[in-house]
Structure 1
Amino acid sequence: MPETLTSTDPAPYDALLLLSFGGPEAPEDVVPFLENVTRGRGIPKERLAEVGKHYFLFGGVSPINEQNRELLAALRKDFAGHGLDLPVYWGNRNWAPYLVDALREIARDGHRRVLVLATSAYAGYSGCRQYRENLAEALEQLRGEGLPELRVDKLRHFYNHPGFVGPMADATLAALAELPAEVRDGARLAFTTHSIPLSMAETSGAPDDPARGTPGGAYVAQHLEVARLVAEAVAAATGVADRPWELVFQSRSGAPHIPWLEPDICDHLAALHTAGAPAAVMVPIGFVSDHMEVKYDLDTEARAKAAELGLPVTRAATVGADPRFTAAVRELVLERAAVERGVRVERCALGTLGASHDVCAVACCPNPRAPKPAAAQL
């Protein structure tokens, strides 16, 4: 029988790494940052400057690093307030502070067993395996420097944890309340996430993942689950039981001849307007914080499209450093620590898909270009 989680002992872990995407913090950072993101693809600087135009609209600064600083501080405060003695570090895949530097600091501080919180809630190559590939690369670099060996484990996907779903539901209610009263009850919910190639979506998740039973693979199935859970919470709070909702996509960046997940949020808003919807709420369930793909793709492009159509829209906030989310991270840390010590504990998850696996299979979310070593897998 699983036990209720009561211990605040993080053993065998002695550090937590907050691992994120990273972003530029000055105009001169934009092209070098995009070179890091697209490394190995041979994209010319002129094209990268064009791609980076949305960063220049915001002074060349992505909000993501400051948001990660806020989350880092919130995690440290939550841990200290609940007696969890575990240092928290921060590293990025594509910009300072870099992942390899964070791991080097962890090793030099004497830590050896590291848990990793990636700022992505879902299964998929870009959201999970690529982070683990970057971890493997960084660990190999540290071995070459003669530093002590680190063992790194990644926290499970948290998309259906109440500490993620609850804040998203409340943010959706707050966004609904911003709409004029006469259109509020008829407003549609547009749950948004990053579009990915269809081939990547179809291979997302472990081969034996229950979510793979849903067409579209784990990436789509997990997002649909969160959308359903949030929509049900909104219905219960508002008394509008039959409010239509749909999962839609944004931030496509690939070649036009390669099929990606659709519909795009702007196309969806146009379809809602044509169908006579009185208003819409955009709910960015695919993102942990209000970074550039939220600020530009939703708050700038999608809002401009809605204004062109004359369709009232609002946008729900992301979870950010919500205290319920930081508490969820603490619970996930202690859950994984207990499992590593051989203790069976209750694994908190809402909905029908259950708690995600702790350790990824080798066949999880394969690299779309070429196989590469990945950390934290069977």
Structure 2
Amino acid sequence: MHSAAPFDALLLLSFGGPEGPDDVIPFLRNVTRGRGVPPERLAEAGAHYRLFGGVSPINGQNRELIAAIEKDFADAGVGLPVYWGNRNWQPYLGDTLRRMADDGVRRAAVLVTSAYASYSGCGQYHENLLAARAETGAEAPVLDKLRHYYNHPGFVEPLVDHTVAAFDDLPAGVRADARLVMTTHSIPVATAETAGPEGGAYVAQHRETARLVAEGVARALGREHAWDLVYQSRSGPPHLPWLEPDVNDHLARLKADGVPAAVLVPIGFVSDHMEVVYDLDVQAAETAATLGLPVARAATTGADPRFAAAVRDLVLERAAALRGESPDRRVLGALGPSHDVCPLGCCPDPRGRGAGLRGAALEAVPPLSS
């Protein structure tokens, strides 16, 4: 038996996605609430979802991940129930937190389906948790968000294997010289500069994951492949600088430089969702076809059993730390394990709205750690 005390539950916290055509526009309204996005822009984005029947794959993959975690917990003797709440669609975080309180959960570890430091991938989820706890009231469980896991072997090693497998989808004659194109969600440059306790963590962490994946691929294939970190899914106004290069522009540059093929590796995403299946499998694939550049796309980590085991590692190490013990923190590479408790000012809201919300929520309920 592995002790998870003081935790009595795990909460999987994710972005959420529509599960039918009627869900698409309401979901997009949730995502863009308060940003003044015009209806015609929502309709344009909604068309991407309708190519896939109005269903984002993220909820289905979260169900698969929960099943994998539950199996891993059971096999390892970790007696924690797993709950699931979303930021933008059912099951909503607030509803899940109320159910947890009704079930008698008093303290829960929280796994966010974002492996890296940034406002949208960490700071905003903190605010979601705080707001949901404030709405739940005095019975709300204490919540401990688990550390960033971009360099945990259970996240990286499936990406390596999936990248190696993707080479089989390229013509045999171009595989040896194919370029690895590591992709992640673009964010505003100003947000990237303030990510993490000292700034710059979003890019630094992605570059570390990209390096680890490339090294793993080289070991598996017996040859090195050059790699680049590129960005996708930009959604902000054109006058604001966002991280570049865009994946489509980068593919054109590779073609111009004589690179014979590319493997797209979505290291920035825990599981497939619309930014993967549309922006890579549709848009980037169309760009590559127009260029005459053979491309293949590696799968995301998803519900791989090694990632489920990594979740168990993260829960148990955090539980041990809370008990005053010295946990074994598994990481790859040179950056070491991320912090457990986010320092004040870490990953701030670029719109300057985080501090007030966090303060109000903290006054309403017991303190949130991490």
Counterpart selection for 2:184 from 193, 196, 199? 193
CA distance in 2, matches of 1:149, 1:171: 39
Counterpart selection for 2:110 from 105, 116, 123? 116
Displacement of 1:371 in angstroms is: 3.0
For the pair 1:151 / 2:136, whether they are aligned, the reply is no
For the pair 1:293 / 2:275, whether they are aligned, the reply is yes
8 Å CA contact 1:186–1:278 kept in 2: the answer is yes
Letter of the structure 1 residue corresponding to residue 329 of structure 2: R
Letter of the structure 1 residue corresponding to residue 27 of structure 2: F
Q: Which residue of 1 aligns with 2:338?
A: 356
Q: Which residue of 2 aligns with 1:4?
A: none
Counterpart selection for 1:60 from 32, 54, 69? 54
Counterpart selection for 1:20 from 6, 14, 17? 14
8 Å CA contact 1:191–1:227 kept in 2: the answer is yes
CA distance in 1, matches of 2:368, 2:186: 25
8 Å CA contact 1:117–1:154 kept in 2: the answer is yes
For the pair 1:323 / 2:317, whether they are aligned, the reply is no
For the pair 1:306 / 2:288, whether they are aligned, the reply is yes
3-state DSSP of counterpart to 1:185? helix
Displacement of 1:142 in angstroms is: 0.8
Counterpart selection for 2:99 from 98, 105, 118? 105
CA-to-partner distance for each residue in 1:225-278, whole Å, 9 max, x for gaps? Answer: 00001111111222223x211000000000000000000011010000000001
Counterpart selection for 2:85 from 70, 85, 91? 91
3-state DSSP of counterpart to 1:248? strand
Moved more, 65-74 or 147-156: 147-156
Counterpart selection for 1:183 from 150, 157, 174? 174
Letter of the structure 1 residue corresponding to residue 14 of structure 2: S
3-state DSSP of counterpart to 1:52? helix
Displacement of 1:376 in angstroms is: 4.0
CA-to-partner distance for each residue in 1:130-172, whole Å, 9 max, x for gaps? Answer: 01101111111111xxx51421110000000000110001111
Matched residue count: 360
Moved more, 33-42 or 86-95: 33-42
8 Å CA contact 1:129–1:365 kept in 2: the answer is yes
CA distance in 2, matches of 1:149, 1:297: 38
8 Å CA contact 1:31–1:45 kept in 2: the answer is no
Displacement of 1:377 in angstroms is: 4.8
Letter of the structure 2 residue corresponding to residue 265 of structure 1: V
| Root mean square deviation, CA, Å | 1.2
Displacement of 1:43 in angstroms is: 2.0
Displacement of 1:53 in angstroms is: 1.4
CA distance in 1, matches of 2:130, 2:5: 23
Q: Which residue of 1 aligns with 2:201?
A: 218
Structure 2: runs of 5 or more not aligned:
359-366
8 Å CA contact 1:360–1:376 kept in 2: the answer is no
CA distance in 1, matches of 2:168, 2:20: 35
Q: TM-score by structure 2 length?
A: 0.95
For the pair 1:368 / 2:354, whether they are aligned, the reply is no
Q: Which residue of 1 aligns with 2:363?
A: none
Counterpart selection for 1:235 from 218, 221, 234? 218
Percent identity (aligned): 66
Q: Which residue of 2 aligns with 1:160?
A: 151
Displacement of 1:335 in angstroms is: 0.5
Letter of the structure 2 residue corresponding to residue 239 of structure 1: G
Q: Which residue of 2 aligns with 1:79?
A: 73
Counterpart selection for 2:322 from 306, 319, 340? 340
8 Å CA contact 2:97–2:140 kept in 1: the answer is no
Letter of the structure 1 residue corresponding to residue 268 of structure 2: G
Q: CA 1:283/1:162 → structure 2, altered by over 3 Å: closer, same or farther?
A: same
3-state DSSP of counterpart to 2:177? coil
CA distance in 2, matches of 1:235, 1:347: 25
CA distance in 2, matches of 1:40, 1:196: 18
Q: CA 1:60/1:149 → structure 2, altered by over 3 Å: closer, same or farther?
A: closer
